[in-house]
Amino acid sequence: MAEVMWFKDGAPSNYHMSRAHHVPMDRLLEALTPFETRYFEVPPTFNAQQGPASKSDPYRYVLVKVPDEEVNGTFPDEGYYHVVHLEPDEMRRLLRFPDESLPEEP
């Protein structure tokens, strides 16, 4: 299974990412087919120059962590994929997550 996480703008802090939600790869591939992704070996930071992310900052980015056993044609390498132009609320809708399925804090 892959893991889906939300990230905030700002340098890593106790609040820069949500908890991970495990999603079957087939379900993820179906939801993400039309979206561009960018690969990272380690979790990226977004706009780190803003300083540490705070608890009240909104989540803005969707990242997918793909383990080695889930590598495929869409996600060809183990690591992290930023789903470009997709916000957390839209990802929740695409995967049919209830609003409370990804807690705000890790």
Query: What integer pLDDT is reported at residue 34 of this predicted model?
Result: 86
Parts of the chain with a pLDDT under 70: 99-106
CA 101, 81, 7: angle at the middle one, nearest 5? 50
Do the beta carbons of residue 90 and residue 61 sit within 8 Å? no
Helices 88-95, 25-32: axis angle to 10 degrees equals 120
Rounded to two decimals, the pTM is 0.89
Distance CA 36, CA 50 (A): 25
CA 21 from centre of chain: 9
Share of the chain above pLDDT 70, in %: 92
